[in-house]
């Protein structure tokens, strides 16, 4: 890998914030590993195409189910085998679930925590030796849901509280390696994850879908991507352990 060229791994990058983030890193000249479910290969290929057009010198596509440890091992091994290094890990992949305690099932809990919590913990663990060599950093996707105690946020909110704890714990523990760890905490963003997860108009209002503040609109994917890339950049070398909210002031209501 040439001098000054970063290698960035973005999970959940076949669509939404992950795809937008990968495209943004591509414009900065980063080499990329992008990943999504095996069923999302076509979407992943389209993201890879755009990343190459945006200027990425090399885009590796890896189909992986982050509920499976062997797939996460494959993801990391393929990244290192292809590029020889890792500079930034973006733990973006996540599942939104909005059910109250009467509605949720044990299977719901296992699925959400497997993707939203277990995967970032394991990927952070196996990425650490490589990030230590490059003095790289981690950006996690958290959420304002970590501080939103509505009944319908129960399992999803618990998973994001876990990511907040993970972020600060890893930031404290990894300073000795010269590795930073921060989290971006969006409110409601214009992505497919919310369109598919929010069943009713009432529910949309509960989570603030139709309630905005600063700009009179929802946060965009590109705005979240900009923040992720800032935290991963050399402009943020003294920032670690931070949970940065980006929601236009919605959580202040």
Q: 181 is written with which tokens?
A: 């760890």
Q: What are the φ/ψ torsions at residue 95 (nearest 5 degrees)?
A: -120, 130
Residue of 104, 122, 149, 156 with catalytic role:
156
CA dihedral 185, 88, 36, 38 (to 10 degrees): -150
Euclidean distance between CA atoms 7 and 83, whole angstroms = 7
Determine whether 109 is exposed, middle or buried from the number of CB atoms within 10 Å of its CB (0-12, 13-18, 19+). middle
3-state secondary structure of 183: strand
Determine whether 230 is exposed, middle or buried from the number of CB atoms within 10 Å of its CB (0-12, 13-18, 19+). middle
Q: Is 156 noted as a catalytic residue in this protein?
A: yes
The catalytic residue positions are 156
């Amino acid at each position: 890998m040439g001098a000054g060229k970063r290698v960035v791994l973005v999970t959940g990058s076949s669509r939404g914030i992950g795809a937008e983030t990968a495209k943004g890193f591509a414009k900065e000249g980063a080499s990329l590993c992008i990943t999504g479910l095996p069923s999302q290969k076509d979407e992943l290929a389209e993201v890879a195409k755009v990343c190459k057009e945006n200027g990425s010198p090399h885009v590796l596509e890896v189909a992986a189910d982050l509920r499976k440890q062997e797939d996460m091992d494959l993801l990391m091994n393929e990244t290192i085998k292809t590029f020889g290094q890792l500079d930034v890990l973006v733990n973006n992949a996540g599942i939104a679930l909005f059910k109250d305690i009467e509605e949720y099932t044990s299977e719901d809990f296992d699925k959400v925590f497997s993707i939203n919590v277990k995967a970032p913990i394991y990927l952070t663990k196996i990425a650490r030796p490589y990030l230590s060599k490059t003095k790289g950093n981690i950006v996690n996707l958290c959420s304002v849901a970590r501080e939103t105690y509505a009944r319908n946020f129960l399992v999803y909110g618990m998973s994001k509280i876990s990511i907040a704890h993970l972020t600060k714990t890893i930031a404290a523990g990894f300073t000795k390696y010269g590795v930073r760890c921060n989290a971006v905490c969006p409110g409601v963003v214009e992505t497919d994850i919310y369109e598919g997860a929010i069943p009713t108009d009432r529910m949309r209002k509960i989570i603030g879908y139709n309630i905005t503040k600063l700009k009179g609109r929802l946060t965009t994917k590109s705005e979240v991507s900009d923040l992720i890339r800032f935290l991963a950049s050399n402009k943020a070398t003294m920032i670690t352990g931070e949970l940065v909210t980006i929601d236009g002031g919605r959580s202040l209501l």
